[in-house]
Amino acid sequence: MNPYETDELLGQYLDFHYGAEHFGVPNYPRACVELALATHSDHRERALDLGCAVGRSTFELARTFDEVIGIDLSHRFIATADVLANTGQSDYRVREEGELFSQQTVELSALGLSDAAARAHFQQGDACALDASLGTFDLVFAGNLIDRLPDPAAFLAQLPNLVKPGGLLVISSPYTLLPEYTSPEKWIGGFVQDGRPLRMLEGLRRQLEPALELQTPTRELPFVIRETARKYQHTLAEVSLWRRPLFPST
């Protein structure tokens, strides 16, 4: 079963996106969007959030974009994001200890996201086979998605055509490469090639350049996912930003 369809991960991701911060680490979907917007200050008509999970970064983008589409493979995550967009709230439960859970509620109004919700739209779909009718976007965000895909190169090949000239692609990831999600022959980095290490950032450059230009330096953003009252994942993502040139290089 896809873990992103389970009660356990639904609760964890609702808590990660909308619950309390832990150990002083800022809310990660919000921090990713703030970092992206610090670089992309110009056109804010359409944005796309790939692997949006339960929607926090989609709503955060919708604070300033006219229209934001969030896409995720998980039916449950998208159904929950839809409930949030339509009703402004969702109940969920998080594991405290063993079989003990606590009940929690997300209220978009408490996060100042009620107006943004009207500009956020969610679709269940596969980021590796995106619908050609999606159109183009001023900003495309793929948060912690690249290392959960069976074919990252196929995913990346679609991106230049989704970003408008002058627009921005933002990829964040801790590069947690796991064979259960991506078989090693499909990895684009994280291994030795011709006697030297090929890191994920270089693998991304090989896939995306010259259609998209890497904006340097890359940044690092920490995040914390709460598993139980006493167990937390504390992780460090690299955020890379890629600009589509206004005019293709000759």
Half-sphere exposure of 37 (CA within 13 A, CB side): 16
Q: How far apart are the first and last CA of the chain?
A: 47
Provide the b/e sequence for 219-236 (b: ≥16 CB within 10 Å).
Answer: bebebbbbeeeeeeeebe
- Which residue, 4 or 92, has its beta carbon nearer to ligand SAM? 4
Minimum distance from residue 163 beta carbon to ligand SAM (Å): 17
Minimum distance from residue 50 beta carbon to ligand SAM (Å): 6
Output the six-digit token pair for 240.
Answer: 């890379």
Alpha-carbon distances, residue 195 vs 31, 183, 202, 206 (angstroms): 37, 21, 15, 18
Minimum distance from residue 5 beta carbon to ligand SAM (Å): 8
* Distance of alpha carbon 153 from alpha carbon 175, whole angstroms: 14
Sole window of 68-76, 92-100, 192-200, 207-215 interacting with ligand SAM (rule: CB under 6 A): 68-76
Residue by residue, DSSP assigns 78-121 as HHHHHHHHHHSEEEEEEEEETTEEEEEEEEGGGGT-HHHHTTEE
Minimum distance from residue 180 beta carbon to ligand SAM (Å): 12
Identify the residue among 4, 137, 187, 242 touching ligand SAM (CB under 6 A).
4
77 sits near ligand SAM (criterion: CB under 6 A) = yes
Query: Residue 193 belongs to what H/E stretch?
Result: strand 191-193
149 sits near ligand SAM (criterion: CB under 6 A) = yes
- Which residue, 73 or 156, has its beta carbon nearer to ligand SAM? 73
Minimum distance from residue 172 beta carbon to ligand SAM (Å): 7
- Site residues for ligand SAM, window 128-147 (CB under 6 A)? 128, 143-145
51 sits near ligand SAM (criterion: CB under 6 A) = yes
Query: How many residues of this chain bind ligand SAM (CB under 6 A)?
Result: 19
* Distance of alpha carbon 89 from alpha carbon 87, whole angstroms: 6
- Which residue, 213 or 225, has its beta carbon nearer to ligand SAM? 225
122 sits near ligand SAM (criterion: CB under 6 A) = no
- Which residue, 51 or 203, has its beta carbon nearer to ligand SAM? 51
* Distance of alpha carbon 76 from alpha carbon 180, whole angstroms: 21
Identify the residue among 15, 72, 82, 138 touching ligand SAM (CB under 6 A).
72
163 sits near ligand SAM (criterion: CB under 6 A) = no
Alpha-carbon distances, residue 242 vs 54, 108, 161, 191, 233 (angstroms): 25, 30, 13, 23, 28
* Distance of alpha carbon 167 from alpha carbon 41, whole angstroms: 10
Residues of this chain that interact with ligand SAM (CB under 6 A) are 4, 16, 29, 51-53, 71-74, 77, 126-128, 143-145, 148-149
